[in-house]
């Protein structure tokens, strides 16, 4: 059966490939998404390394002059999605796109593909990608740490990649929606509205887009003007990890002159994590930079601490306790939000469902920190979900129901790269 699933996963990637770039799924997400594409590259790498790198190269075609790599590239207009290029006010750009970024997983994945490709292969192409990844990481260091703490702030929930996490509710309630132009959502025509963000969330999402647009998406101005500015442990962990992988690439490829800058970013992010530690909870949480308030729930990204290289028992021991408590509450690990928290909803997007790509990163970190038992629990649960419900966008941690879009590229990709029991395709 898993061989059939491997074949199906490959056919999903090929089917969602629009020619050098891959969409997350037809209908709901008809454009190129940032971290989706990078995870997709991992899936392609299991059977076509050239195509894998092409996916990443195509994403960087949309990089802005300031270094930012947008969260969506609108390569050709598709009316099945809202908000498209007109709503972002970027239609006149050579490559219309959204105006903010997404979690930077590229350096980690590029390193992995490069190292598994074997001596010398892909080197020229990875060398060409290196300065682009440097510029993107520099953009985060320059524009997404406005208070200089070392943690990464997002200006829109979409920038975190976890659109409607309960921890965004409090900061989002301060976003004024007065005067935003009327709009028609398209997502709820593709997917059951109960599995999607609410209407009020969308109104606030669009109010933040309007604020960014009014600044012409000038990164410095946007950070000052956005009605939403929250430090995110997810993106902070992911960037910290990506910086370590970028440093490894720099050493391997001879970009030694860039090492001090990268090492400076690493040291700063390590310090920044301390501010995101919620001592009452025993986990890293969000921090609203406008009010100074920490988030109140254990979200799945708290378990990315080992992935980011954290080896401090004062962090890892409470995390293990949370993991075991939550594992006793749900059938499938790892829910995107704590099932013991009132904000938990098992089928609503990032308020509870399991996401295969987050599981992949969590398990990767656990393995590297030596916790093979919990890592294997996460992998086995991800495999059970796919066997139970196919390559869905996300899954209920309670009963394994597949939810959101179907034939989803990144779910297929991490199946191939990691969750499939076929050992030749295991990356972790």
Closest to ligand GLC by CB, 36 vs 245, is 36
> Does residue 381 touch ligand GLC according to CB under 6 A?
no
Q: Which region among 30-38, 50-58, 223-231, 374-382 touches ligand GLC (by CB under 6 A)? A: 30-38
Q: Would you say the C-alpha torsion 116, 117, 121, 126 has a positive or negative sign? A: negative
Whether 163 is catalytic: yes
| Active-site annotation holder among 6, 36, 112, 163 | 163
Told to check if 353 binds ligand GLC by CB under 6 A, we report no
35: contact with ligand GLC by CB under 6 A: yes
Under the binding rule (CB under 6 A), the answer on residue 335 touching ligand GLC is no
Q: Return the SS3 of 32.
A: strand
Among 24, 166, 295, 402, binds ligand GLC (CB under 6 A): 24
In the list 21, 29, 136, 217, the residue contacting ligand GLC (rule: CB under 6 A) is: 29
CA-to-CA distance for 163 and 159, rounded, in angstroms? 8
Size of the site for ligand GLC (CB under 6 A): 7
Q: Round to whole Å and give the CA distance between 181 and 186.
A: 16
Stretch that binds ligand GLC, among 28-36, 58-66, 173-181, 322-330 (CB under 6 A): 28-36
Task: Pick the closest to residue 59 from 22, 26, 34 (CA basis).
Answer: 34
Q: Which residues 95-134 are close enough to bind ligand GLC by CB under 6 A?
A: none
Quick one: 185 exposed, middle or buried, by C-beta within 10 A (0-12, 13-18, 19+)? middle
Separation of alpha carbons 92 and 152, rounded Å = 29
How far is 91 from 107, CA to CA, in rounded Å? 29
- Here the tokens at position 15 are 């089917």
Among 99, 104, 161, 272, binds ligand GLC (CB under 6 A): 161
* Residue 187 engages ligand GLC in binding (rule: CB under 6 A): no
CB neighbours of residue 62 within 10 Å: 23
CB-based contacts of 48, cutoff 8 Å, min separation 6: none
Q: Which residue shows structure tokens 């501010």? A: 275
143 touches ligand GLC (CB under 6 A)? no
CB 48, min distance to ligand GLC, A:
21
Active site (annotated) includes residue 57: no
Catalytic positions are: 163, 393
Q: Which residues bind ligand GLC (CB under 6 A)?
A: 24, 29, 33, 35-36, 161, 163
């Amino acid at each position: 059966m898993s061989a059939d699933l491997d074949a199906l996963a490959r056919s999903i990637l090929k089917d969602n490939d629009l020619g050098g770039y891959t969409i997350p799924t037809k209908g709901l997400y008809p454009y190129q998404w940032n971290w989706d594409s990078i995870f997709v590259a991992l899936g392609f790498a299991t059977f076509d390394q050239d195509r894998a790198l092409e996916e990443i190269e195509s994403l960087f075609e949309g990089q802005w002059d300031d270094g930012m790599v947008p969260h969506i590239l609108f390569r050709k207009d598709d009316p099945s999605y809202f908000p498209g290029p007109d709503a972002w006010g970027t239609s006149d750009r050579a490559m219309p796109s959204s105006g903010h970024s997404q979690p930077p997983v590229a350096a980690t994945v590029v390193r992995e593909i490069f190292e598994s490709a074997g001596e010398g292969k892909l080197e020229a192409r990875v060398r060409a990608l290196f300065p682009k990844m440097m510029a993107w990481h520099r953009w985060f260091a320059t524009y997404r740490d406005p208070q200089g703490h070392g943690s990464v702030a997002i200006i829109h929930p979409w920038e975190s990649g976890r659109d409607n996490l309960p921890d965004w509710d409090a900061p989002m309630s301060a976003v004024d929606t007065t005067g935003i132009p009327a709009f028609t959502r398209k997502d709820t025509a593709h997917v059951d509205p109960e599995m999607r963000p609410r209407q009020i969330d969308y109104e606030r999402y669009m109010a933040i887009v309007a604020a960014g647009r009014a600044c012409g998406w000038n990164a410095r101005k946007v950070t000052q003007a956005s009605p939403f500015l929250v430090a995110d442990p997810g993106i902070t962990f992911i960037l910290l990890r990506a910086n370590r992988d970028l440093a490894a690439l720099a050493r391997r490829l001879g970009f030694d002159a860039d090492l001090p800058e990268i090492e400076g970013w690493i040291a700063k992010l390590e310090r920044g994590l301390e501010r995101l530690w919620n001592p009452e909870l025993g986990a890293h949480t969000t921090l609203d930079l406008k009010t100074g308030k920490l988030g109140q729930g254990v979200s799945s990204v708290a378990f990315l601490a080992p992935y980011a290289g954290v080896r401090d028992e004062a962090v890892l021991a409470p995390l293990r306790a949370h993991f075991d408590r939550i594992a006793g509450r749900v059938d499938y690990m790892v829910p995107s939000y704590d099932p013991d928290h009132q904000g938990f909803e098992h089928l609503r997007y990032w308020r509870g469902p399991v996401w295969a790509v987050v599981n992949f990163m969590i398990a990767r970190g656990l393995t590297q920190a030596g916790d093979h038992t919990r890592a294997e629990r996460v992998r086995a649960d991800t495999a059970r979900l796919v066997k139970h419900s196919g390559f869905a966008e996300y899954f209920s941690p309670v009963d394994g129901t597949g939810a959101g879009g179907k034939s989803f590229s990144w779910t297929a990709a991490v199946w191939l790269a990691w969750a499939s029991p076929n050992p030749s395709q295991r990356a972790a």
